[in-house]
Amino acid sequence: MSTIAQTVAPYAADFRVTRSRRSVVWTGAGALLVVVVLAYFPYIVHSGTTAILVQAFIVLTLASMWNLLAGYAGLVSVGQQAFVGLGGYFVLILGLHGLSPFAALPISAIGCGVAALPLWWLVSRLRSGYFAIATWVMAATVMLIIEKFSSIGGGTGMPLPGLAGYGPTLLAADTYWAGLAVTVLALLGIYLLLRGRLGLVLTAIRDDEVAARSSGARIGLARLLVFVVAGVGCGAAGAVLAISQLQVQPSAVFSINWTAEMAFATIIGGLGTIEGPIIGTIVYMVLQQTLQSYNAWYLIILGLVAITVALFARRGLWGLVDDRLNVRLFPVGYYLRPQVAGRSSDGKDA
Amino acid sequence: MTAPAVEGNGSRANGASPLLEISDLAVHHGQLRALDSISLQVFAGEVYAIIGANGAGKSTLLRTIAGLHHPSTGSVRFDGADVTGLRPEQRARQGIVMVPEGRRLFGSLSVEENLKVGATYARQGPWTIDRVYEMFGWMRERRSQRTAQLSGGEQQAVAIGRALVANPRVLLLDELSLGLAPVVVQRIYGMMPQILSTGITVLLVEQDVSQALRVASHIQCLLEGRTTLQGRPTDVTAEQVERAYFGLASSASGGQPAEGSDA
Amino acid sequence: MAWVNAIIQGVLTGGLYALFACGLSLMFGVMKVVNLAHGDLAVVAGYIAIGVITVTHIPVLWSFLIVVPVMAALGYVLQRTIIQGALDRGVLTTLMVTFGLSVVIENGLLQFFSANSRGIGVGLSLITASFSIGSQIQIAYLLVLIFAVAVLVLLGLQFFLSKSKFGRLIRASADDPEATQLAGADYRHVFGIAAALAFATVALGGIAYGMYSQLSPTTGTDTILLFAFAAVVIGGLGSLWGTLLGGVVLGVAQQIGAQINISDEVLAGYIVFLAVLVLRPQGLIGRRAQS
């Protein structure tokens, strides 16, 4: 009786393990180009356009975080708006102590990450349905507690201090760059995180939790890490939101609609892939811009599309593309390729 | 004890048509092929036993007959009609009732309630809840108890009773002996004559080969999803069974090894 | 004495919460579905009642007779189609789909009815009146009536589930859908009936709420859903009477919170909810944990 290793060993020299089918260099170069072009926008487009793009950045960051939670860690949270709100309020509080909102942004994001720790303790032992409801209650509770403090605006909110000296054009540009930076860092961070061991652990959990646990994977730690990262990301997005709105209003920053938007964008774009939220955000923005004057319609349609996609096209729009073209813009899997110079194999990724 | 169970009025020998007929069945679990080219015929009144090692496909076969798996090719015919497309509950109402592996009793229901559920869509016939109580003497007293409080053998009895009250024509028994002490297993199989006497045909899956050989009128051995032996217990030798079970070269004498079976 | 009044108010409000909770508990216990649209469905029922009353001018109490069966039928259809489809694809999908439903319903109501809140005018003066015990305790007849209805509904459900043939099938399907199939029952049909029951009770709750308070498109998620879930969790899953106990505990906690600080009513309830989730997730008298 030979072991699998003994059977495979003679052939090991014939194969190598790679991270992607094509060179990462090309995708990386392409991404860099996109970012550079986007960075130039404030110089070449109207500030109305950059404002719309800031919205897109916020939604994309939120969607990527929701995707990390639900698509990779299996945690369906309907309470991420707690961190969106907290991010905004951290900026407000720091602003009241004299710090510029842009300087406060990274601190707020980290603050949300810290806040995620006790909140995780509250909800970590719960599963699926209970977890979802618990996150919703958590967000509602956070909002109610914050509303009690009239020093930060109570139930009606407050304008952000520290923005008075800004000229409108510069403010719009700075807000835009802040949003771009947050989004790029968020996507980059998620990509690097999933490329590493965490990605393997999360995929293992997704496929078979019992097996993953018995193989020694630190599941609880993985989920905690994901929850904290999502807190940081959503907090950063919330900070950008506050800056873009020049004020913090509890009912706006803690609205369940944020969860609706990030969830729908992710589901439609494709749950469980990094590219999915990008597609989903594009769909979301197109719908929102087209139906702007029709109030609640874009959420209704978005919701209906999301339900349909969840039921019939489980891997979303990106899943449909991926199946045809077998492309990964963000390669996080592994391929087995034969050690033959110049030819690539048909290895399926992990 | 070597006498096989009642041979079923000799309907097989008489050229009557089979009650249950599986033709060239193939079942896949995703990409894994669980069953390949399985054919068998069960005639009224017989006790047909399917034996084989773990993972041979026995339970998959029974579950496919019950309707819980859909075959990729092949057909299941019951009393002449093609039932391959019928859902499990439809087959149950027509008279194909399974006692699933692991008992699968309703944990929050009492013993009697479990039987009542089984009787909800019952066909006409001699089996009633009372008759089940008579067969298993201890059950009437404990009929209000939660099934979780019963022993393994008692739970198996309730599971069988739940199937019987539906008045099946074909009773599918999946691994009755699993997890039970040999004495208990014997007692349960001892009920077989009573069950057969009411005209029920039995198709069972059993890991305990000697037990199967004791009760069956026909046996079929599976290995890795394929048939390796088919015949009557009286016509096969112990070595043939052993070879078919473990997958060594088959012999041509006595019972009928399946054509093309792998070593 | 004000405290005694508060506690009595809390207990009686618990009846309303129990009415919301039992449908949620039923769907979660039987189909393992956390229906995030549960609260919005109550609001839909209320709006349908308002519509029916406005168009046909029938007495308010008769609106039940129309709305409840309509909602029950809606529940059966939704369960057999969308929810069953989501169940077949996994827990995550079910959560996402019911959440999607919730958002669609709320925004649909917002779109067609505006954000204003409205109530179901209770014309019968007897119901709007209240009686007093002593000088500081005032109890509205309507609240007592709702509590009585809640108890009756729970009794009815209890009886149906434990004694009737279909109730047995529902409990069996909750334990093991596949084994129920093997016994000849179509578990998807059974689930549909369970959903119909759940929707019927939530319709009752929605109409009751519309009489007692005001309904707006966001009431479903602002108020009803989390309260209903709180009642289920506090009381414990798997026990119908647990939902009444949970509702009462929630109601009393809220009233005590209001006594301490008038704006802390809802917050007090949430804190108790979170405390139970963390310390005793199986609830006060629940038999099963979250499944």
> What percentage of chain A carries pLDDT values higher than 90?
51
Query: Within 10 Å of residue A266's Cβ, how many Cβ atoms?
Result: 32
Q: Give the closest of A132, A300, A304 to C34, CB-based.
A: A132
Q: Which of A243, A240, A283, A242 shows the shortest CA–CA distance to A261?
A: A283
Contact C290 A296 (CB under 8 A): no
Residue C127 included in any domain:
yes
Residue B257 included in any domain:
no
For residue B252, the distance in angstroms to the closest alpha carbon of chain C comes to: 39
* HSE-CB of B110 using CA atoms within 13 angstroms: 11
Contact B89 C185 (CB under 8 A): yes
Residue C264 included in any domain:
yes
**pLDDT for residue A328:** 65
At what angle are helices B182-189 and B152-164 packed, to 10 degrees?
20
Contact C172 B109 (CB under 8 A): yes
Q: Which residues of B touch C182 (CB under 8 A)?
A: 66, 68, 88-89, 92, 97-98, 100, 104, 163
Question: C–B contact (≥3 CB pairs within 8 Å)?
Answer: yes
ipTM of model: 0.89
Exposure letters C75-103 (e unless 16+ CB within 10 A, then b): bbebbbebbbbbbebebbbbbbbbbbbbb
Task: Give me the domain span that covers residue B175.
Answer: 20-246
Q: Give the closest of B67, B68, B117 to C183, CB-based.
A: B117
Q: How do the domains of chain A map onto residue ranges?
A: 24-253
Contact C182 B87 (CB under 8 A): no
Q: Which residues of C touch A69 (CB under 8 A)?
A: none
Query: Could you read off the pLDDT tens digit of each residue along chain B, which spans 263 residues?
Result: 344 444 444 567 777 899 999 999 999 988 889 999 999 999 999 999 999 988 889 999 999 999 999 999 999 999 999 999 999 999 999 999 999 999 899 999 999 999 999 999 999 999 999 999 999 989 999 999 999 899 999 999 999 999 999 999 999 999 999 889 989 999 899 999 999 999 999 999 998 898 999 999 999 999 999 999 999 999 988 888 888 888 875 444 445 555 444 43
Is the pLDDT reported for residue C118 higher than 90? no
**pLDDT for residue A10:** 72
**pLDDT for residue A293:** 66
Contact C182 B105 (CB under 8 A): no
Residue B252 included in any domain:
no
When divided into structural domains, chain B yields a total of 1
A44: its two tokens: 């070449």
Query: What chain C residue is nearest to B94 in terms of C-alpha separation?
Result: C184
> Measured between alpha carbons, how far is C209 from A166 in angstroms, rounded to an integer?
49
Contact B100 C178 (CB under 8 A): yes
For residues C259 and C3, the answer to whether their CB atoms sit within 8 Å is: yes
Give residue C169's identity as a one-letter amino acid code. L
CATH number at residue C172: 1.10.3470
> Measured between alpha carbons, how far is A224 from C71 in angstroms, rounded to an integer?
41
Question: A–C contact (≥3 CB pairs within 8 Å)?
Answer: yes
Q: Which of A324, A218, A234, A313 shows the shortest CA–CA distance to A268?
A: A313
Query: Within 10 Å of residue C157's Cβ, how many Cβ atoms?
Result: 21
> Measured between alpha carbons, how far is B116 from C168 in angstroms, rounded to an integer?
8
Any C CB within 8 A of B166 CB:
yes
Contact B88 C176 (CB under 8 A): no
- For residues A171-191, average pLDDT: 94
**pLDDT for residue A324:** 74
Contact A304 C100 (CB under 8 A): yes
The beta strands (E) that lie in chain B are given as: 20-29, 32-42, 47-52, 73-78, 81-82, 96-99, 170-174, 201-206, 218-223, 226-231
Contact A144 C99 (CB under 8 A): no
Q: Is the pTM of this model over 0.95?
A: no
Contact A307 C274 (CB under 8 A): no
CATH number at residue B36: 3.40.50.300
Residue C285 included in any domain:
no
Residue B256 included in any domain:
no
When divided into structural domains, chain C yields a total of 1
φ, ψ dihedrals at B22, nearest 5°: -110, 125
- For residues A171-186, average pLDDT: 94
Residue B208 included in any domain:
yes
> pLDDT tens digit string along C151-203?
999 999 999 999 999 999 999 999 999 999 999 999 999 999 999 999 999 99
Any C CB within 8 A of B214 CB:
no
**pLDDT for residue A297:** 86
Q: Which residues of C touch A127 (CB under 8 A)?
A: 290
Query: What chain C residue is nearest to A308 in terms of C-alpha separation?
Result: C97
Q: What confidence category does residue A314 fall into, taking pLDDT thresholds of 50, 70 and 90?
A: confident
> Measured between alpha carbons, how far is A346 from B221 in angstroms, rounded to an integer?
39
How deeply is A35 buried, as exposed, middle or buried, from its count of CB atoms within 10 A (0-12, 13-18, 19+)? middle
Residue C284 included in any domain:
no
Left, alpha or beta for B53 (phi > 0: left; psi -120 to 50: alpha)? Answer: beta
Q: Which residues of C touch B109 (CB under 8 A)?
A: 168, 171-172, 175
Residues 67-86 of B with CB under 8 A from C: 67-68
> Could you please report the per-residue DSSP string of B70-129?
--SEEEEEETTEE-TT--HHHHHHHTEEEE-TT----TTSBHHHHHHHHHTTPPSSS--H
For residue B119, the distance in angstroms to the closest alpha carbon of chain C comes to: 8
Residue C20 included in any domain:
yes
Task: Give me the domain span that covers residue C86.
Answer: 2-279
Any A CB within 8 A of C104 CB:
yes
DSSP C80: I
> Measured between alpha carbons, how far is C208 from C46 in angstroms, rounded to an integer?
8
**pLDDT for residue B254:** 45
